[in-house]
Structure 1
Amino acid sequence: MTAPLSREDARALLEWHVAMGVDVALADEPQDRFAESAARLEHAAASRPALPAPPAQQPQPPARPAPSAAALLATPDESVAAARDAAASAASLDELRAILERFEGCPLKATASRTVFADGAPDARLMLVGEAPGREEDLSGLPFVGRSGQLLDRMLAAIGLDRTKVYIANVIPWRPPGNRTPTPQETETCLPFVRRQIELVAPDILVALGGASAQSLFRAKEGILKLRGRWLDYELGEGRRIKAMATLHPAYLLRSPAQKKLAWRDLKAIRRALEGR
């Protein structure tokens, strides 16, 4: 048999029930505690501030048509030959851009959002060529607009230039998926187009940004740290030659800021060459 509660224990138990919200021992009407709980939840939901509307969806670039069967069945050599013939037929930069938009010989075009052709002045005395577009460039359709491009703008400003006074392009006009390194076949297929682009711009000075661009344009074997800062001759065709140099890519300088001193030497040399000194 359970012993009766002492006065102190009974008082403590009563105080605990009061603290827990018990106000009657037995009500005359039954209480649906589940309905009460649901009502409290509905009230809380109604008083909760409305969530902000989702942001408007960004317009998507137009879908690219699938490559033709002939493009899919072409051998690597046939793709390079087709690119060479197509590029040679362009009599102007506008024609070259239109030819690139129609060209199906490089699989990178099918995965890219748009063709990244160039930025700047077509009659510029200085032309800069990188390797391939990244995500920001793929979305905007312009080369060097991400973090690397912002640094490039500051580098140009350091020698009194900006994008209205130079011409900027890439060896490859379509972004590789995931910003991966382009394959040798992709590079060789796109190379005739950028070579024709250089011929049509006909700058006084050509600068390759980074080792990949320098190896493609100059057929160089050395690494960029050995190649940079040296003046080279670049054949424009028909016996025309222009001065050329390789320098460090802005993306490399972001990873290795201590090497900016080397890029600054190259920039000063380019400035002196533009001034005829």
Structure 2
Amino acid sequence: MAVTATTNKAGVYVQYPELANLKLEKLLYQRGLGMRERYLQLMSNLVRSRNSKEKDAKNDLLYFLADAKDPETSMGFAEDEIWAESRFLLIAGADTTSTALTTAFCYLSAYPACYEKLVYEIRNTFSSGSEIRSGPKLAQCQYLRACIDVSLRMSPPISGTLWREVCAGGYVIDNEYVPAGYDVSVNPYAVHHNEDCFPDSFTFKPERWIPSADNPEKDIERARRAFSVYSIGSRACAGRNMAYTELGDSIARTMWYWDFRLPEGPLGAVGIGKQRWRTHTLIF
């Protein structure tokens, strides 16, 4: 709920920056403000608790922040800088990873054939659940990676639009000249459901990421170029490899230890979404 409210607010303020000066949060985002205060209090308690211990008491993120030195000035982080970094690190990846996991398990339960193929791959690659960890064996699980990618494509964890400013000299996009200084972007959800890049885009189909006679490399490469869940270019998410590691490890362990399926009856339809082709919206 807080993430949705924040995304909505950011979208409004990006389109109409002048509204930010009107301080509408108290009127429109009362619940979000309460959640923000609770989050800041939690963050404050965590930092104070950690700072009350010896710096090397635990090799956690705060330890590395406190020990970090600028290579040019040899200066460390100031207290307010550690505070700012801690606020970011606490939430970085947590919400997006949990959203991606929810999406993957939702679609796998709704597509039994894909579920069975993934179970077979995991349980025939590893000899025990404890063997599942980041490394060559997990990396060779091709169908697992395909399931992750198709989940990220169909329901990107980042619902906002990632804006970029046009550099000096301007830029030509689809034969339209965009002057320098303008902000441009396209929402990942819209790109990921473009039928030219992803035919039958509302279908959970991991095989679209795996080369075959019916799915040549050129089609996969075209899809890769449009796959923008972590953004593209020099500003792409720096933690995307960690995200893939977390997702791969979590999904593989779940598929090894447990069996799951949709319940019978009306409950089986809860959460699987419905397609609205006219608006190209997938509603959960």
TM-score range, shorter chain: under 0.3
Greater Rg by CA: 1
TM-score, normalised with respect to structure 1: 0.21
Please state which structure has a larger fraction of its residues in strand: 1
TM-score, normalised with respect to structure 2: 0.21
Please state which structure has a larger fraction of its residues in helix: 2
